[in-house]
Chain A
Amino acid sequence: MQLETKVPSGALAAKWDKHRFEMKLVNPANKRKYRAIIVGSGLAGASAAASMAELGYQVSCFCFQDSPRRAHSIAAQGGINAAKNYQNDGDSIWRLFYDTVKGGDFRSREANVYRLAQVSTEIIDQCVAQGVPFAREYGGTLSNRSFGGAQVSRTFYARGQTGQQLLLGAYQALARQIGLGKVKMYSRHEMLDIVLVDGVARGIITRNLVTGEVKSFAADAVVLATGGYGNVFYLSTNAKGCNVTAAYRAYKKGALFANPCYTQIHPTCIPVSGDYQSKLTLMSESLRNDGRIWVPKKKGDNRKPGDIPENERDYYLERKYPSFGNLAPRDISSRAAKEVCDEGRGVGETGRGVYLDFADAINRLGKAVIEDRYGNLFQMYERITGEDPYSVPMRIFPASHYTMGGLWVDYNLMSNIPGLHVIGEANFSDHGANRLGASALMQGLADGYFVLPYTIGDFFARTGPSGITEEHAEFKKAEEDLNNKVKQLLSIKGSKTVDHFHRELGKIMWDYCGMARNDAGLRKGLELIPKLREEFWNDVNVLGEGLEMNMSLEKAGRVADFLEFAEIMCHDALDRDESCGAHFREEHQTEEGEALRNDKDYCYVAAWEYAGEGQAPRLHKEELKFENVELATRSYK
């Protein structure tokens, strides 16, 4: 299979303009003849649905939550990057582009990243016009703060709830179109299959989560905006409902899954407290603007943090990375935390934690300033742990947070299946092997507001309205397959719950395909996953019926997909015999324990193709060409 990236020729800075000119347009009066299905209503999905409806397309949007406003984008805390250079500190589109490529450890596609940096500025304008209440200075202009992996202040924020405010902006734009009758919204509907007619994506099969009814929806194109797969680790900062199902079903229908091993482990999360734990809570990276990370210098030092004198503390990020200090990128900070804990210097009951200490900042700026900046985060921490972070340092530890990998897409954000577009976290496109803080919101909204609405028009203009309806035999067949799968899950009546299997899978993935990976461990993972999967299909206990609200059944379908998907992750991590970004192969590190990339052999996107049940997936490579930046060793020292 030849992977066509469709990246336009010419100078980097002119590519997007050139491409926009070369794309075919759909006449305004003809747009209403085209039907688009958008699955997911987070930043990418809601912004795409609203923007496409404004243009005049017939849009249907689906989400599994009770309202599009609940999508997990809502939980993003810290901020959104944009190359506005409002702070006059030397920022530019080029710098944001470069920081993002470097932050991704030179494993992303130059042209996509440059476009992202270009449209970043429009996003802020758009959100302000929608009434998003970003933080402001006394003079009335917008405030910025710094985030990891950058030495300029380009992050716009709304207290610690930036994702919430951006999502509500997009949700309200979507609500306006729903009210106008331009978007049909289907809440509490889960997409469980994608339907191809003559090799083109023409619709989806959903299960109505209230009634259990399985139903088809036909269209001229399908857009997946279904988020990431971080819940493959069971414990993650993702919402409980986040899952890989939509993307995985597309994969099984022929879409390529790119770089699944690139999973971001976020350094600042509240540590695990017990086996019952259902999820992990992120403490925003923005806290690292003012918080200092440290552990005791001595192993097993059980003194209270306040009793450990300054000279017996190891501010290890400041020591190892003096120029970026506590704002070293996520992958590097996470590994550094793991390293000090592995040395036996971790803190808290489990020894799997490090301190994030605000004492200096409170002394320097006063409690009121810290409260204004991070009040809601401090409150959240106190709720969960019962400790007051104004007086004792927070305890934090890395946790699964974001997935850079996703379905492979070309420059038009279309997968290798014609008509199937993938946007936001669900695609693989912009973050390479590691995403920088405050860039997920940027990418979700860039895709939804400013890229997809143009590029999907080109697909429509080239293919014309399909006229395909739900009566087509492919839909009937897919409905039947799904009904059979539901019956099968309900008929097993084994002895273990769905959560039991999910938790077991999570342990396997965390141990063998987590923050550090090696050949033997990954092979072990590949041995254990099929066994667990077999046990699941023989011994899972899903109560209730198909034609009713049944949350065990919903979870069972998702976990069944995770149990297959996990294997592709391990295959990918095994194939990528180098360390890069968040993918750390223990065999490949410098003497100081930093990731050692191998550009000669691994400067490619690994795109995996489904090869049939029980078969190892087939690898396709998209060579990455860097024409504008020099491949350098990433250094934050």
Chain B
Amino acid sequence: MNLTLHVWRQKNATDKGRMETYQATDINEHMSFLEMLDVVNEDLIGKGIDPIHFDHDCREGICGMCSLVINGIPHGPERATTVCQLHMRHFKDGDEIYIEPWRAKAFPVIKDLIVDRSAFDRIIQAGGFVSVNTGGTPDANAIPISKSDADEAMDFAQCIGCGACVAACKNASAMLFVGAKIAQLAALPQGKVEAERRVKAMVAQMDKEGFGNCTNYYECEAVCPKEISVKGIAKMNREFFKSMKG
């Protein structure tokens, strides 16, 4: 199939940036979206044009590095799918495709489709952990954890930290990302010990980074490649209120 691509090009953080139009020719339906971009890039390099820069690494939907807004939707039209797992069979000959970076104040563009997501790291650094040092921990079976609690923790722990939730939100809220970590650790006895401190610190950092607040549109859940539930946000709010009581 042949496609027309409109791609955001921006040389660096200070460049204004613009959309450029390229043709993608002879695209095979079994290609992933990123493989399609690889083919376009090979062609651009041959023409002496700087290839389109985009983040990617594992290409199997787990590292959380790929981050494209395709026709207005973070990670593109398929549900529960990262861009690297999106295949061209979902497009048809003659389609026009608009490709943009995540857009949020807290995720400044570095180049083309690559943004700086270090704000997420700083939120985890503020409290997204259990404060145990290596060694001296009790036997793994010492504290029984019910299967349903373990499953719930796992549902939230699946977050890959890609930032699609922020990109989809009109407020650029990071609450699904933050809520997922808080909900995971709140479901486990190991995480309960410092639950109050954790939620306060993570929420404070989230605000400091310039992410907005949730106004219940649930766009985040709709685009989340791991289908993290917005219940995580409710759980975060609940933990936050609990911590306010002191």
Q: Do chains A and B stick together as partners?
A: yes
Asked, given contacts A175-B128, A278-B35, whether A122 binds B190 with beta carbons under 8 Å apart, the answer is no
Which of B41-49, B213-221, B235-243 is the contact stretch?
B41-49
Chain B residue, CB-CB nearest to A72:
B58
Q: B117 and A67: CB pair below 8 A?
A: yes
B196 on interface, CB distance cutoff 8 Å: no
Which chain A residues lie closer than 8 Å to B12 at the CB level?
548-549
Which chain B residues lie closer than 8 Å to A137 at the CB level?
147
B93 on interface, CB distance cutoff 8 Å: no
Q: A276 and B190: CB pair below 8 A?
A: no
Chain B residue, CB-CB nearest to A141:
B141
- Among candidates B35, B80, B131, B190, residue contacting A176 with C-beta atoms closer than 8 Å: B131
Residue among B49, B118, B140, B154 with the highest chain A CB neighbour number at 10 A: B140
Q: A128 and B80: CB pair below 8 A?
A: no
Cα–Cα distance between A384 and B120 once the two chains are bound (Å): 29
Cα–Cα distance between A134 and B144 once the two chains are bound (Å): 12
Which chain B residues lie closer than 8 Å to A70 at the CB level?
57-58, 63-65
Q: A383 and B85: CB pair below 8 A?
A: yes
A138 CB to nearest B CB, Å = 5
Cα–Cα distance between A168 and B128 once the two chains are bound (Å): 10
Cα–Cα distance between A133 and B180 once the two chains are bound (Å): 13
Q: A66 and B118: CB pair below 8 A?
A: yes
B157 on interface, CB distance cutoff 8 Å: yes
Q: A66 and B55: CB pair below 8 A?
A: yes
Q: B130 and A131: CB pair below 8 A?
A: yes
Which of B1-9, B24-32, B167-175 is the contact stretch?
B24-32
A135 on interface, CB distance cutoff 8 Å: yes
B92 on interface, CB distance cutoff 8 Å: no
Which chain A residues lie closer than 8 Å to B161 at the CB level?
67, 69
B34 on interface, CB distance cutoff 8 Å: yes
Chain A residue, CB-CB nearest to B190:
A131
Which chain B residues lie closer than 8 Å to A127 at the CB level?
140
A631 on interface, CB distance cutoff 8 Å: no
Q: A278 and B45: CB pair below 8 A?
A: no
Which chain A residues lie closer than 8 Å to B58 at the CB level?
70, 72, 74-75, 239-240
Cα–Cα distance between A158 and B184 once the two chains are bound (Å): 13
Which chain B residues lie closer than 8 Å to A95 at the CB level?
none
Q: B118 and A187: CB pair below 8 A?
A: yes
Asked, given contacts A122-B135, A380-B61, A549-B110, whether A173 binds B129 with beta carbons under 8 Å apart, the answer is yes
Cα–Cα distance between A139 and B143 once the two chains are bound (Å): 11
Residue among B86, B144, B157, B160 with the highest chain A CB neighbour number at 10 A: B157
**A interface residues, tally (CB under 8 Å):** 80
A126 on interface, CB distance cutoff 8 Å: yes
Cα–Cα distance between A380 and B81 once the two chains are bound (Å): 9
B151 CB to nearest A CB, Å = 8
B25 CB to nearest A CB, Å = 12
Q: A66 and B59: CB pair below 8 A?
A: no
Q: B38 and A278: CB pair below 8 A?
A: yes
Which chain A residues lie closer than 8 Å to B147 at the CB level?
136-138, 140
- B94-123 residues with Cβ-Cβ distance < 8 A to A are 110-111, 114, 116-118, 120-121
A429 CB to nearest B CB, Å = 20
Q: A278 and B57: CB pair below 8 A?
A: no
Q: A130 and B150: CB pair below 8 A?
A: no
Chain B residue, CB-CB nearest to A211:
B12
- A523-558 residues with Cβ-Cβ distance < 8 A to B are 541, 543-544, 548-549, 551-552
A94 on interface, CB distance cutoff 8 Å: no
Cα–Cα distance between A72 and B87 once the two chains are bound (Å): 22
- A347-402 residues with Cβ-Cβ distance < 8 A to B are 379-380, 383-384, 386
Asked, given contacts A139-B144, A544-B50, whether A172 binds B55 with beta carbons under 8 Å apart, the answer is no
- Among candidates A72, A125, A129, A380, residue contacting B57 with C-beta atoms closer than 8 Å: A72
Q: A278 and B34: CB pair below 8 A?
A: yes
Chain B residue, CB-CB nearest to A385:
B30
Q: A75 and B191: CB pair below 8 A?
A: no
A281 on interface, CB distance cutoff 8 Å: yes
Which chain B residues lie closer than 8 Å to A126 at the CB level?
132, 134-135, 137
Q: A128 and B140: CB pair below 8 A?
A: yes
Chain A residue, CB-CB nearest to B129:
A172
B161 CB to nearest A CB, Å = 6
Q: A133 and B184: CB pair below 8 A?
A: yes
Asked, given contacts A124-B140, A282-B60, A497-B46, whether A274 binds B28 with beta carbons under 8 Å apart, the answer is yes
- Among candidates B50, B131, B139, B140, residue contacting A543 with C-beta atoms closer than 8 Å: B50
A116 CB to nearest B CB, Å = 16
B70 on interface, CB distance cutoff 8 Å: no
Q: Which residues does B use to contact A, with CB under 8 Å?
A: 11-12, 28, 30-32, 34-35, 38-39, 42, 45-46, 48-51, 53, 55-65, 78, 80-81, 85-87, 89, 110-111, 114, 116-118, 120-121, 124-135, 137-141, 143-147, 150-151, 153-154, 157-158, 160-161, 184-185, 187-188, 190-191
Q: Which residues does A use to contact B, with CB under 8 Å?
A: 47, 50-51, 54, 65-70, 72, 74-75, 84, 86, 122, 124-131, 133-142, 158-159, 161, 164-165, 168, 171-173, 175-176, 178-179, 185, 187, 210, 237, 239-241, 273-274, 276-279, 281-282, 379-380, 383-384, 386, 449-450, 453, 497, 499-500, 541, 543-544, 548-549, 551-552
**A-B residue pairs in contact (CB < 8 Å), sample of 10:** A122-B137, A134-B140, A139-B144, A159-B154, A172-B124, A178-B125, A276-B28, A278-B38, A449-B134, A548-B111
Q: A131-B185, A175-B129, A210-B110 are in contact. List 4 more A-B contacts (CB 8 A).
A: A86-B141, A241-B57, A276-B39, A543-B50
